């Protein structure tokens, strides 16, 4: 991440962290005045940097504790408090404008007249403990591994607009989209074209053709040559437009915390949405032309 983006994070998230920290200090019964006692050895900027390094490179809390000269539990608490603040920010599409919900994304695309692209991505997680209820729900039918699934939403240029909360790996892509309310949003909102892969076939009929999936294959056997050529041409045309979302997912997976998540699954939603917000902010900063003097 660029230094300018980190400076923006410090200016934006810092006051919110201090406000919540002060609220926690004053909300519990105290025997001494607020501010008395030992002071933080790890200031907010260090806490933010530790969280960013952990998300970007997957550095363990023990190593971060050695770097910053504090105890491991201090780093764990710092990341646990900064990560939700990053997740709440949403995805940045322009300076000061953010998209936090799927409804805001659909509304933004409708106003801008742009095409959206959706796709599901799986993130490997640790195997649930023996005896845990619904343990098999995390097994992905696609990769045969324990995973969670998130739906990624980009525009036609591959710009990240939204990353959904996660579902167990056994959840189908189309089911996840329906549970997020995408069908209702497209049916009630403005005319928005959404490109998707074959995992979302069926949403087109439910949304009046607004979700566009690869063409169905009418001939399963003994197809004429002309049909094979036409079907392949249509499939490639759709794939060339939809490939942008794959690029967006690849940028997400460059963050080691999403290559394979080794932490608690309860923190997965905050991790995914925090990284999506950070990546979208960097994309926005890269699109703004530098001022020449």
DSSP state of 1: -
Contacts of 96-102 with CB under 8 Å at 24 or more apart are: 98/277, 99/161, 99/162, 101/162, 102/153, 102/162, 102/164, 102/180, 102/181, 102/182, 102/185
Pairwise CA distance, residues 18 & 117, whole Å: 38
How much is the average pLDDT of 210-232? 82
CB atoms near residue 250 (< 10 Å)? 11
CB atoms near residue 120 (< 10 Å)? 23
DSSP state of 120: E
Say what the pLDDT of residue 37 is.
66
pLDDT band at 188 (very low <50, low <70, confident <90, very high): confident
Say whether pLDDT at 266 is over 70.
Answer: yes
As a whole number, the mean pLDDT across the chain is 87
Q: Cβ neighbours of residue 70 under 8 Å, at least 6 residues apart?
A: 41, 42
Say what the pLDDT of residue 142 is.
81
Say whether pLDDT at 253 is over 60.
Answer: yes
In tens, the pLDDT along 278-290 reads 999 888 888 755 4
How much is the average pLDDT of 264-271? 88
pLDDT band at 221 (very low <50, low <70, confident <90, very high): confident
pTM of the model: 0.87
Q: Is the C-alpha dihedral spanning 268, 272, 275, 277 positive or negative?
A: negative
Pairwise CA distance, residues 199 & 151, whole Å: 12
CB atoms near residue 236 (< 10 Å)? 11
Pairwise CA distance, residues 226 & 256, whole Å: 46
Query: CB burial class (10 A; 0-12, 13-18, 19+) of residue 72?
Result: middle
Nearest to 231 by CA among 217, 241, 220: 217
Say what the pLDDT of residue 292 is.
40
Say whether pLDDT at 32 is over 80.
Answer: no
In tens, the pLDDT along 45-102 reads 999 999 999 999 999 999 999 999 999 999 999 999 999 999 999 998 888 788 999 9
Say whether pLDDT at 256 is over 70.
Answer: yes
Pairwise CA distance, residues 54 & 79, whole Å: 8
Say what the pLDDT of residue 76 is.
94
How large is the C-alpha radius of gyration of the chain?
Answer: 22
Say what the pLDDT of residue 288 is.
59
Pairwise CA distance, residues 253 & 9, whole Å: 21
Say what the pLDDT of residue 96 is.
78
Both tokens of 95, joined, read: 């300076």
Contact between 122 and 141 under an 8 Å Cβ cutoff? The reply is: no
How much is the average pLDDT of 200-222? 85
pLDDT band at 104 (very low <50, low <70, confident <90, very high): very high
Pairwise CA distance, residues 49 & 256, whole Å: 15
Contact between 293 and 153 under an 8 Å Cβ cutoff? The reply is: no
Say whether pLDDT at 291 is over 70.
Answer: no
């Amino acid at each position: 991440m660029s230094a300018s983006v980190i400076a923006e994070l410090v200016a934006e998230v810092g006051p919110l962290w201090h406000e919540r920290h002060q609220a926690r200090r004053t909300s519990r019964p105290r025997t001494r005045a607020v501010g008395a006692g030992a002071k933080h050895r790890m200031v907010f900027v260090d806490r933010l940097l530790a969280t960013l390094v952990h998300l970007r490179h997957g550095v363990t809390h023990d190593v971060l504790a050695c770097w910053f000269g504090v105890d491991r539990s201090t780093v764990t608490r710092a990341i646990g408090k900064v990560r939700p603040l990053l997740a709440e920010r949403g995805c940045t599409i322009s300076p000061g404008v953010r998209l936090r919900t799927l409804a805001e994304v659909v509304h933004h695309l409708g106003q801008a007249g742009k095409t959206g692209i959706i796709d599901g991505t799986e993130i490997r997680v640790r195997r649930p403990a023996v005896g845990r209820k619904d343990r098999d729900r995390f097994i992905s039918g696609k990769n045969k591994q324990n995973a969670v699934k998130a739906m990624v939403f980009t525009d036609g240029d591959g710009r990240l607009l939204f990353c959904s909360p996660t579902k167990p790996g056994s959840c189908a892509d189309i089911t996840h989209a329906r549970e997020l309310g995408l069908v209702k949003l497209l049916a009630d909102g403005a005319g928005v074209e959404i490109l998707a892969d074959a995992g979302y076939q069926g949403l087109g009929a439910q949304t009046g053709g607004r979700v566009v999936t690869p063409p169905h294959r009418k001939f399963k056997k003994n197809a004429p040559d002309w049909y094979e050529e036409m079907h392949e041409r249509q499939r490639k045309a759709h794939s060339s437009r939809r490939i942008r979302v794959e690029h967006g997912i690849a940028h997400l997976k460059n963050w080691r915390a999403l290559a394979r998540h080794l932490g608690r699954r309860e923190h997965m939603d905050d991790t995914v949405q925090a990284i999506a917000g950070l990546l979208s902010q960097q994309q926005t900063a890269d699109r703004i032309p530098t001022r020449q003097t």
